[in-house]
Amino acid sequence: MGGSSMVELATDLTVREVARAAETVLGRSVQVTPETDIARDLAVDSLALMNIVMELEDRFDLSIPLDRLATVQTVGDLSELINKLRVKA
């Protein structure tokens, strides 16, 4: 398996965890791709997003500072942020 596909796989797994965290917080099933717009497509407000982040912090045993969410619009953005923070941790 090449390096680029390893990255893709990691992103794919993170996207799936984001979906699961969203389902836990929202109490409904969601279909997501990296392109899914969190606010528009999932109807997630800023408060629900913060709760999803708290859930993800527990799943990945990681700190995700809220100020970093300013640039997060899609599920892909959020997954990328998590993967970046995981490398750092």
Partner 1 sequence: MSLLDKHLGYRAPLDGIRAAGADPSAVRFDAVLSPTEGMLDGRKVILLGTNNYLGLTFDPACIEASADAVRQWGTGTTGSRFANGTFAGHTALETALAKFYGRKHAMVFTTGYQANLGGISGLVGRGDHLILDADSHASIYDAAKLSGAEVIRFRHNDPEDLAKRLRRMGDAAKGSLIVVEGIYSMIGDVAPLKEMVAIKKEAGAYLLVDEAHSMGVLGEKGRGLAEAAGVEDDVDFIVGTFSKSLGAVGGFLVSDEDNFDLLRIVSRPYMFTASLPPAVIASTLTALKRLEEDSSLRAQLAANADRLYEGLRDMGYAVGPHASPITAVVMPDQATAVMMWNALLANGVYLNLAIPPATPENKSLLRSSVSAAHTAEQIDAVLDIFERLGLEYGLLQRPRRASA
Binding site for partner 1 (CB under 8 A): 45, 47, 50-51, 53-54, 57, 61-68
Contact 44, 6 (CB under 8 A): no
Phi, psi dihedrals of residue 74, rounded to the nearest 5° = -110, 165
64: left (phi over 0), alpha (psi -120 to 50) or beta: beta
Length of the chain (residues): 89
Q: Whole-number minimum distance, CB 8 to partner 1, in Å?
A: 27
Select 13 or 54, whichever has its Cβ closest to partner 1: 54
Select 9 or 62, whichever has its Cβ closest to partner 1: 62
Select 10 or 50, whichever has its Cβ closest to partner 1: 50
